[in-house]
Each structure stands twice: as C-alpha cells, then as structure tokens.
Amino acid sequence: MSTTFGERLLGVFEASGHLCVGIDPHPYLLQQWDLPDSGKGLREFGLRCVEAALGQVGILKPQVAFFERHGSAGYEALESTLASARGAGLMVIADAKRGDLGTSVEAYAQAWLTPGAPLEADAMTVSAFQGVGSLTAPMLLAREYGKGLFVLAATSNPESHATQTAIVGSGENSTRTVAASIVAEVNMSNEAPLGSFGVVIGATVRLADFGLTDGDLATTPILAPGFGFQGAAFDSLRATYGGAAANTVVSSSRGILEAGPDGIRGAIAAQVAELARAFAQ
C-alpha cells in the first residue's frame, strides 16, 4: 500500500517538527532583499528560502498569488521553487486556494497534485464555497497519488466570521456552523491516526466561536496560518487548538522573511526552537 499524505505528514512532524515556512514574495520584501520585482527576482527569492529551510524545517508553503502577478515568468519562478524544494525532500503545500466544481476543479487538482506536473506539490489549499462535495474529484486524485488537501474552514480575517459561523439550515449537518460542517464533511474521508484531508484554521481564532472543539479535529491535519507577523504567538498553540495542536502545520511567513537574505536562516532556527518549547509545555 502506498504511503498516504497523512502518514507522510506525521513523519515530517517527527523528523523536523511542525514549523512551515511561507514563501510570500511581497513587493516590499523583494525590495528589502535587494531583488527586482520580476520573475528573476521571484526565482531568486524562492530558491533562497528553500536553501535557508534545508536541515531546519520539513515544510514550505509558497503563496501562489505573489508568483501569479508576473504571469508566465512568475510561474516559471514558482516551478523552479517547487522543484528545488521537493527535490531536496521538503514537503510543499501550494497555497493556491482553488475552488470550483466538476471538471474545472479536477483540472486544478491535476495541475498541483499530479506526479511530474510542472506545478507538482504535496498538498494544496482549496475552497469549499460550493460545498465539500464539489471537491470529490480533487480528493480522489489526492488519495490516488498520496497527496493532501487543506480546505478553508475558520479563517482569521474578520470579514469571514459571519459566513463561517452561520448555521447550516438543512442536511446532515443542520444546526452546525458552516465551519463545523466543513470539518465534519472533510473528516468523513479521513482515517486514523491522521487523515490526508485537512482544514485551514487561523491561529487567531477561537474554536468555540466557530462551533468547534479539539475533538472534532482529532484526526484532521490543520494548516494554521497567523503566527508571527499576524499576531499569534507559539505559546498560545495549545490554548487555541487544544489536543489537536499535535496535528498542526504551524505556518510563519513575514515574521521570518523580514529577517532578509542574510538573517532568514537564523530566523528560522529561532522559531524552530521557540515552537519546540511551546510543544514541550
């Protein structure tokens, strides 16, 4: 039997910890790094991030939007970054937030999850606005290739709160919040001890506000953005996610990247140590 994404993720946690370095080449960061805001600059930025991560963390998360700004040149830079990271044995989550239905969403999954594809990653972020059932094709593809998905569920931006805490009016998850319904439907396809289909739950939210408990996430991988620059602290990890903290991919981007090309490796090392202390509490 082939190794599932959940099994691989557990292996990364054990070998390299939970820290995930986001690769977000904001224009201001490119300027700080003395790189041009161009495809060439993006490629250099991405490859330097990969180099700094080696031997320190096991997961990288490129934010696709910053590469898309430069069209084909940006995608070429992203392809180089993805290939370098995966070639070095790092797990890559493509933060693409794709969502659609039918053959369209299947094509998105083929782009990001098919072995040998130019944009191949180990997992991708997706949106279930059209229902978790609309993600059936990506789920089937991910399972076939040992890949993963992270479905947006409870995000940190305040604009999302009214929608994600709204109560579902019909169906199996009626009377639950939209966020809790997404988690429940994702978990229907998961297995113990850790599934291959996860959810995005921001590090600055309270599970209870979204109708969730840590028990709802016992076998669910959690992509947890919001640490560092966005205000969440590592020592709040257990308070936020409870027993599900063990399932979290702890994402930090600008809090590391602002250290610059000469300081990024040290910034990663510092956050790895800080996160280890938080888990030891």
Q: Which residues are the active-site residues?
A: 97
The token pair that represents 101 in the structure block? 């239905």
The token pair that represents 175 in the structure block? 């009377």
Contact between 54 and 90 under an 8 Å Cβ cutoff? The reply is yes
Contact between 9 and 221 under an 8 Å Cβ cutoff? The reply is yes
Q: How many H helices and E strands in the chain?
A: 12, 8
Rounded to a whole number of angstroms, the CA Rg of the chain reads: 18
HEC string of 112-141 equals HHCCCCCCCCCEEEECCCCCHHHHHHHHHH
CB count, 10 Å around CB of 232? 22
3-state SS of the chain: helix, strand, coil percent to 5? 55, 15, 30
